[in-house]
């Protein structure tokens, strides 16, 4: 486990797990567990905290540097709004042309409907005549 060690009146922090403390050195288990292996790096707590603070500050500055400023974001929003309005106006311009085309087809559709209604009346009359003939045939065969 990492810990704080007081040695000769100075406070030191070890980043490595502590296996045993002997004299002025701390020997970690992963380095041989006190069997004469290399010593763990030890630094004063104040220097350790200052180094960590500097590292965090530099990472924060780097991340903040990549963020867009408010004016850049405002410009992006206005650009997107202008693009949407332009697309809507283009769609309306094309739709107006299609509306006029639909209006010019209206008389043709009316003529087709009139012709179809004449054909339908003619067919209805023929079907009525066939129905009467079938009724007459049924009466004659029933007697």
pLDDT tens digits, 54-90: 999 988 888 877 776 777 888 889 999 999 999 998 8
Given pLDDT bands bounded at 50, 70 and 90, which one contains residue 124? very high
The answer, yes or no, to whether residue 5 has pLDDT greater than 70, is no
Residue spans per domain, the chain: 3-66
Q: Are 17 and 1 in contact (CB under 8 A)?
A: yes
How much is the average pLDDT of 96-123?
A: 82
The answer, yes or no, to whether residue 14 has pLDDT greater than 60, is no
How much is the average pLDDT of 118-143?
A: 91
- H-assigned helices in the chain: 45-66, 70-142
Q: CA–CA separation, 110 vs 106, rounded Å?
A: 6
Between 111 and 35, where is the model more confident? Answer: 111
Least confident of 15-24, 59-68, 109-118: 15-24
Q: What is the pLDDT of residue 53?
A: 92
> How many Cα atoms sit within 13 Å of 80 on the Cβ side?
6
């Amino acid at each position: 486990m990492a810990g704080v060690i007081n040695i000769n009146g100075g406070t030191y922090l070890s980043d490595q797990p502590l296996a045993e403390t002997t004299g002025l050195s701390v020997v970690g288990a992963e380095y041989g567990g006190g069997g004469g292996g290399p010593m763990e790096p030890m630094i004063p707590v104040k220097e350790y905290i200052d180094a960590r603070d500097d590292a965090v500050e530099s990472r924060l500055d780097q991340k903040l540097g990549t963020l867009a400023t408010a004016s850049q974001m405002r410009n992006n929003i206005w650009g997107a709004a202008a693009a949407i309005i332009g697309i809507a106006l283009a769609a309306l311009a094309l739709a107006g042309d299609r509306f006029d085309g639909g209006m010019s087809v209206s008389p043709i559709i009316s003529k087709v409907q009139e012709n179809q209604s004449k054909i339908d009346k003619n067919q209805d009359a023929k079907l009525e005549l066939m129905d009467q003939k079938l009724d007459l045939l049924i009466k004659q065969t029933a007697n």
